[in-house]
Amino acid sequence: MAEKGSFLFRTNPKMLAALKRWAADDFRSTNGQLEYVLRQALREAGRLNDDSNNDSASSDSDSSSASTDE
C-alpha cells in the first residue's frame, strides 16, 4: 500500500459539522470523506490520473469512473 501524506486542514465549524454528517451518512470517517470529496473534485478537473491513486479506490462506492477496456 502506498504511503499517505498528511497536512493540517482548518475550516470553519459549520463546514466541519456538515462534513462529519456527510461522512456518517456514507459510513466513512471524516478523513475518508474529505479524501473522497477531494479525489472526486480532482478527477472532474482532470488533475488526477486514476491509475496513480488506486490504493483507496476500493473504499469508494463510485465505480462509474472504472475503465472497461477490453
Each residue's pLDDT tens digit in the chain (70 positions)? 789 899 999 999 999 999 999 999 999 999 999 999 999 999 999 999 876 545 544 444 444 444 444 4
Residue 30, class by beta-carbon neighbours within 10 Å (0-12 exposed, 13-18 middle, 19+ buried)?
middle
Are the C-beta atoms of 1 and 55 separated by less than 8 Å? yes
The domain segmentation of the chain, as residue ranges, is 13-47
Helices (H) and strands (E) in the chain, counts: 2, 0
Q: Give the tens place of pLDDT for each residue, 11-24.
A: 999 999 999 999 99
| The C-alpha cell that represents 48 in the structure block | 488526477
Q: Which amino acid is at 9?
A: F
